[in-house]
Amino acid sequence: MSEYPLFSIIIPVKNAAPGIRGCLESIQKLDYPQSKIEVILADGLSQDDTRKIGESYGVKIVLNPKQTVGPARNMGFFNSCGEYIVFTDADCILSQSYLKNVSAYFNDEEIAGISGPAITPAESSYFERAIKFIYELANFFCGSVHREKVGKSEEVEDIPGCNSIYRREILEKVMPVDENLLTAEDVDLNFRIRRLGYKLLFVPEVTVFHHRRSSPQKLSRQFYRFAIGRLQVGKKNIKMINFAHILAGIFLPFFIILFITFRFVNLQIFYFLMRIAATGLTFLFIFALAKSKSMLVAFNVILAITIAISSWSLGFMRELLFPLKDVRGK
């Protein structure tokens, strides 16, 4: 690896004006020669000022008529020149030393890609901080890639699309990503990379500050789409979906069946189950309060986790019963 190899930073965007300026400014402040950084916006036909903002920063813009993330990654990659490829999101702020310490890890030729913490910014709203808590739970129960901290470098099975750096020569063996996936194209990409015998690392230095969804509606849409994509990749290979994904996926129909059955058949069991649910939510609230030291964050955790699980289940059942045939952005 040369002292200053060229990095291509690819950012899938669509109507990203509220966040893209902060992302591009953070790239300009990187502790790395700007002449060795190529920035590409893969734009899904934005209706706002996303492209205009990108042009003001002098970045390369390619249009993505399919409007979803998979085609955006492909178009960005095949229009890039970098020896190393960075994928990030418009709502991410790259830490100043993001590229500075990468070379040490890529000295090992078995390493195909690296990632690191995606930290919720300190100025985030109570609702966004509640989502941070949910991702921490998801990391514990189902191995979510959305991690806020890491003590030392470690090999992992998957790295997130919002914060990933790959060797170009490895991506050339597995690209393009599957454009038939609504989401989770990064899961499929990483699975195929590891199947070739390469490794992925999670390291403390490669840090981004990632803004979470700012409203219940946006969180619901995100988890609905996450579930569809996860089931899509699970159909391709069962190793890309786990028991927690499936359990959350069948939550709503299972809950509805239990509710109807015991509400009208056996009230004693119904009230017993309601007490169990209330006790679980109470413990979750207390745990969130202890972790966050904020009553408002704890209340938002209850709201956010209800939305996340319900929306995941809706998306999962939708894909299970009525699989998507034409994957395009709306």
Strands (E), 90-217: 92-94, 111-115, 118-119, 154-156, 163-167, 199-202, 208-210
Residue 183 and residue 223: Cα distance in Å, rounded? 10
Going from the C-alpha of 119 to that of each of 101, 122, 133, 178, 258, the distances in angstroms are 18, 9, 11, 28, 38
| pLDDT one-digit tens code per residue, 191-235 | 999 999 999 999 999 999 999 999 999 999 999 999 999 999 999
Domain boundaries for CATH 3.90.550.10 within the chain: 7-127+145-213
Q: What are phi and psi of 92, to 5 degrees?
A: -110, 145
Q: Quick one: pLDDT band at residue 330, thresholds 50, 70, 90?
A: low
The alpha helices in 58-167, defined as continuous H runs, are 69-78, 102-106, 126-142
At position 208, the amino acid (one-letter code) is V
Under a CB-based contact definition with an 8 Å cutoff, are residues 230 and 187 in contact?
yes
* Region of poorest pLDDT, from 98-112, 116-130, 204-218, 230-244: 98-112
Two tokens, residue 60: 């390369």
Q: What is the dihedral of CA 319, 322, 325, 329, to 10 degrees?
A: -60
- State whether residue 313 is helix, strand or coil: helix
Average pLDDT, the chain: 94
Q: What is the pTM of this model?
A: 0.93
* Region of poorest pLDDT, from 88-92, 206-210, 221-225, 322-326: 322-326
| pLDDT one-digit tens code per residue, 125-163 | 999 999 999 998 888 777 667 777 777 899 999 999 999
* pLDDT surpassing 90 at residue 293: yes
Under a CB-based contact definition with an 8 Å cutoff, are residues 240 and 187 in contact?
yes
Domain 7-127+145-213: which topology? Answer: Spore Coat Polysaccharide Biosynthesis Protein SpsA; Chain A (3.90.550)
- DSSP string across 18-66: HHHHHHHHHHHTSSS-GGGEEEEEEE---SSSHHHHHHHTT-EEEE-TT
Q: How far apart are the first and last CA of the chain?
A: 41
Percent of the chain with pLDDT over 70: 98
Under a CB-based contact definition with an 8 Å cutoff, are residues 119 and 150 in contact?
no
Residue 136 and residue 27: Cα distance in Å, rounded? 27
